[in-house]
Structure 1
């Protein structure tokens, strides 16, 4: 069991894309008129039939592909734009964002640097460079780029949020006795708080603050998870962490309710099923239910050796040593270094 966080820079990169180009670099050009979004591939096809090489329409289609998880098609569209006009900064930005999300750091770095050579005030590129160096664990350079973005526009939430992740990583690396550890925690919290001050709907920052308070055993973490859910009810991270909050405090019904909600949002993720199984195995001792949910977890993730071990425990408690041995052995086969399963297997031999 674990608390989900956004410490993986893969996850935070989803907020760095075409939307950031408008809000960060072109916001002074915005008007009160909100353009209608036609989310239909046929719409773009019709427009391109009239003007096949129109870069603005091709760019819009690339955004459409990204919204529908067709990233490779989006890349091809952006490559076609750049092949005809290598100075198109919006195409460079979105192409760099896509590559950064895929951790193609050198490619994304090339395109961000190209943008900054043309215009050093482009905040999307500055933030992207900050994320690259954060992913490379070069915090000083990362912070310099993020601070540069804030000098251009101090009201952007994303640089503060990314700074928070950097400071929190520093917090984790420091030994408990290091006096700078608490300073890193304070800087991380301050950065996340500043992010939500700039954008009260920046739900990822609420999750991060919830996680940090939870690690200190502070019950205020639940308020942050609930705020994240109010902003984005489909947030699997917030629902999972809320379930863990209740589970670790022994509030079985509340924990199960959170996990059931999560399963309705995404029934392909093994961890919530594992946690439900754990509750039934350890906390309520409803062994048939435990078997059901651990089995579901292994169906979704056949390498989930902890779930196989707990299946063994459930069957052993049921008095079925044959199946207990079978699942302990399976856990050891997947992870030969999993000592708990090896001990359990030896006990039923």
Structure 2
């Protein structure tokens, strides 16, 4: 009881502290914004507000401030790089940002190390692998111990089909940074493809490097699931649910495993969790329909198969299941 109270106090304190930090940042942003109304081209104020936006994870507003800084001084390579970097970090929001980023740093005259690495990343995304490798190799002359650079070299070699070189680069990345999660995962994928049991070692290393990443829990779970080790797979999925109780993939795959293990009521529970969150997934209704069918709840099964076809009229297996009721 004492331990529970202590934990509650800790979380309450942490939440209050975090809330106060965010409030302080917000008030600072508000104050800076008022000052910038008077002096809109004050670079010190713009940089300070940009940094606060970045700290709050508000990259889109940070981008606006960085654009203004670049307009004020287009000759400043740091302003140019930071604008290109923000475009790169936001390309998942707008794919056009990749070309915006590259346009800023495409000139061969720009050979600052940070620009070389960013250019290498951009060329990788654009599938221009030889150009990507050229820039990354040039960067590594200045920073030969940068794990991220070796990681991107590995990605390039993987894409051009040189798996042995890719493996070597990911290994080098881990030598530079033993907790480089993405490199552990890439090595795990390579070894899993080769049916090498070392894959499990690297999936576990990725998880141990950062257990807050749900993708690491999921990758390990899928590794076990694909090999029929449902007990270990379930442990990893439970790890996801402890961090995100409504995670789609974890609930769905636990429902699937429950179906295979003939624990039909448990399967119904997992699939129902997802349906209660969103009733738009035909595959979830179909899977719950199967669980109802095998649990001898024919009426409920039929309703789920009908709902499946309502959502996806081309769902062939659902059509077959409905025919079996006639």
The normalised TM-score by structure 2 is 0.79
Partner of 1:286: 263
- DSSP 3-state at the match of 2:166: helix
Q: Distance in 2 between matches of 1:197 and 1:143?
A: 20
Assess if the C-alpha contact under 8 Å between 1:271 and 1:297 holds in 2.
no
| 1:162 is aligned to 2:152 | yes
Consecutive unaligned residues of structure 1, counting only runs of 5 or more, are 1-37, 172-183
Change (3 A) 1:293 1:161: same
Count residues with an aligned counterpart.
Answer: 296
Assess if the C-alpha contact under 8 Å between 2:73 and 2:79 holds in 1.
no
Q: Distance in 2 between matches of 1:217 and 1:290?
A: 30
| 1:296 is aligned to 2:273 | yes
Q: Distance in 1 between matches of 2:150 and 2:212?
A: 24
Partner of 1:85: 73
- Residue 346 of structure 1: CA displacement? 3.4
Q: Distance in 1 between matches of 2:237 and 2:193?
A: 20
Partner of 1:20: none
Partner deviation per Cα, 1:255-309 (whole Å, 9 max, x = no partner): 22211211222344311110111111112x2212111111223444544332222
Partner of 2:52: 64
The structure with higher relative contact order (CA 8 Å, sep 6+) is 1
Q: Distance in 2 between matches of 1:271 and 1:319?
A: 26
Stretch moving more, 62-71 or 188-197 = 62-71
Q: Distance in 1 between matches of 2:48 and 2:280?
A: 40
Partner of 1:324: 301
Out of 83, 100, 107, the position equivalent to 1:95 is: 83
Consecutive unaligned residues of structure 2, counting only runs of 5 or more, are 1-20
Assess if the C-alpha contact under 8 Å between 1:59 and 1:91 holds in 2.
no
The normalised TM-score by structure 1 is 0.75
- DSSP 3-state at the match of 1:107: helix
Partner of 1:313: 290
| 1:243 is aligned to 2:221 | yes
Q: Distance in 2 between matches of 1:301 and 1:143?
A: 44
- Residue 337 of structure 1: CA displacement? 4.4
Q: Distance in 2 between matches of 1:273 and 1:267?
A: 8
Partner of 1:252: 230
Q: Which has the larger radius of gyration?
A: 2
Partner of 1:30: none
Assess if the C-alpha contact under 8 Å between 1:287 and 1:318 holds in 2.
yes
Assess if the C-alpha contact under 8 Å between 1:270 and 1:298 holds in 2.
no
Out of 203, 216, 230, the position equivalent to 2:208 is: 230
Out of 131, 139, 144, the position equivalent to 1:141 is: 131
Out of 114, 118, 124, the position equivalent to 1:124 is: 114
Q: Counterparts in 2 of 1:182-193, with a 5 A limit?
A: 184-193=162-171
- DSSP 3-state at the match of 1:201: coil
- Residue 214 of structure 1: CA displacement? 1.9
Assess if the C-alpha contact under 8 Å between 1:256 and 1:276 holds in 2.
yes
Assess if the C-alpha contact under 8 Å between 2:181 and 2:210 holds in 1.
yes
- Residue 48 of structure 1: CA displacement? 7.7
Stretch moving more, 201-210 or 251-260 = 251-260
Q: Distance in 1 between matches of 2:316 and 2:256?
A: 19
- Residue 314 of structure 1: CA displacement? 0.5
Aligned CA RMSD, in angstroms, stands at 2.7
- Residue 109 of structure 1: CA displacement? 1.0
